Amino acid sequence: MNIEDWKRQFLEHTEIERGRAVKTIENYDHYLSRFFDQMAIKEVSDITEEKVREFRLWLNRQQGVSGTMKRRTQNYYLIALRAFLKFLRKRGMDGLSPERIELAKVPERHLDLISPTELNRLLASAVGTDEKSLRDKAILELLFSTGLRVSELCSLNTDLDLSRDDFPIRGKGEKVRVVFLSDEAKTAVRAYLKARKDMDEALFVNIPPMPSKDPEKTSKRVPTRLTPRSVERMIKIYAAKAGITKKVTPHVMRHSFATDLLNNGADIRSVQQMLGHASITTTQIYTHVTDAHLREVHKKFHSRRQN
């Protein structure tokens, strides 16, 4: 088979057997196609260390949004190629060993965080008894209570069992994990559902404009499932209302969820499971934040030797 046939089999295997998201498959296709085109790869045997080195040099000289392409972005290409080579090895194909491809070192990831005081102001910023205010309050409380990704939040339906303190969610890679509901989150969701007038199955929907005097226009007020982009815009508005000058996104609230757990004594393995991280390495980015917290505790409370 030529390289395109192998790529097709790899993408199908990644989607079906490994259960990766469609967006991941699209990205892998893009990264591999760019490597094959740039390095004139026609057969598996064409993938050599020299070709990979030349491609890395080429990537490093490509222009990104601000200057040259970031190393983290360059690594995405290498990760896709390494996964492809592992697939070929399992199929009994001789070729470049995936272990020969090392990722570029990248700067330590910086977390966008808000302080506990800012978080409390954000959670308190959605006030009112109208349907939209109650919806927004429920979204904010649910994000902080569960640590859900915004896409996971938007996928929820109204059949959520609020008599329980937890519920299962299907996350990245179709993996199911359990997330937990605080009393505040349950109260906020109940209040919102009580105010709902529509029968849409989605838990969070766009609130249509107020009814028009025109019966025809009123009949077209059909709610639609809220999108991640809509939630991002909504949180941005409430952050400004709460007087927070930092950039606040649903993912920042996920960071707050994780750091709150760690700062209050949760072990990192438990936090990994609650976040749905496949690797503990991903969760360990939060330990730098808690390390800083521990330094402050040590500085404040550790007794000085008396002379």
pLDDT tens-place string over residues 248-281: 999 999 999 998 888 888 888 898 999 988 888 8
Mean pLDDT confidence for 66-81: 89
Longest Cα separation, the chain: 85
288 is a catalytic site residue: no
Does the pLDDT of residue 126 top 90, yes or no?
yes
For the beta carbon of residue 269, count every other beta carbon within 10 angstroms. Answer: 10
| Mean predicted lDDT score pLDDT of the chain | 88
Domains of the chain: 3-100 (1.10.150.130), 116-196+225-298 (1.10.443.10)
Query: pLDDT category, 108, cuts 50, 70, 90?
Result: low
Does the pLDDT of residue 136 top 90, yes or no?
yes
pLDDT tens-place string over residues 192-248: 999 998 899 999 999 876 655 555 554 456 789 999 999 999 999 999 999 999 999
Does the pLDDT of residue 171 top 70, yes or no?
yes
Which of the residues 20, 82, 137, 254 is marked catalytic? 254
Which of the residues 82, 137, 255, 277 is marked catalytic? 277
pLDDT at 113: 82
Spatial contact of 297 and 192, defined as CB atoms under 8 Å apart: no
Does the pLDDT of residue 62 top 60, yes or no?
yes
DSSP β-bridge partners for residue 144: none
Task: Say how far apart CA 167 and CA 165 lie, in whole Å.
Answer: 7
pLDDT at 263: 83
State the burial class of residue 187 (Cβ atoms within 10 Å of its Cβ: 0-12, 13-18, 19+). middle
Q: How many residues does the chain have?
A: 307
Which of the residues 82, 135, 149, 186 is marked catalytic? 149
Which of the residues 13, 56, 221, 251 is marked catalytic? 251
pLDDT at 67: 75
Question: Which of 238, 274, 277, 242 is CA-nearest to residue 139?
Answer: 238
Does the pLDDT of residue 299 top 90, yes or no?
no
246 is a catalytic site residue: no
Complete DSSP assignment for 26-66: HHHHHHHHHHHHHTT--SGGG--HHHHHHHHHHHHTSB-SS
Alpha-helical (H) ranges within the chain are: 3-16, 22-38, 49-60, 71-90, 116-123, 131-146, 150-154, 183-195, 215-219, 228-241, 250-263, 268-275, 280-283, 287-301
Mean pLDDT confidence for 139-143: 96
pLDDT at 289: 66
Which of the residues 34, 70, 121, 172 is marked catalytic? 172
Question: Which of 9, 8, 1, 100 is CA-nearest to residue 48?
Answer: 100
277 is a catalytic site residue: yes
172 is a catalytic site residue: yes
286 is a catalytic site residue: yes
Mean pLDDT confidence for 16-20: 85
Which of the residues 28, 192, 238, 286 is marked catalytic? 286
Mean pLDDT confidence for 60-77: 84
Does the pLDDT of residue 71 top 80, yes or no?
yes
Global pTM exceeds 0.75: no
299 is a catalytic site residue: no
Question: Which of 169, 164, 190 is CA-nearest to residue 179?
Answer: 169
The better pLDDT of the pair 288, 52 is held by 52
Does the pLDDT of residue 140 top 60, yes or no?
yes
Task: Say how far apart CA 214 and CA 182 lie, in whole Å.
Answer: 42
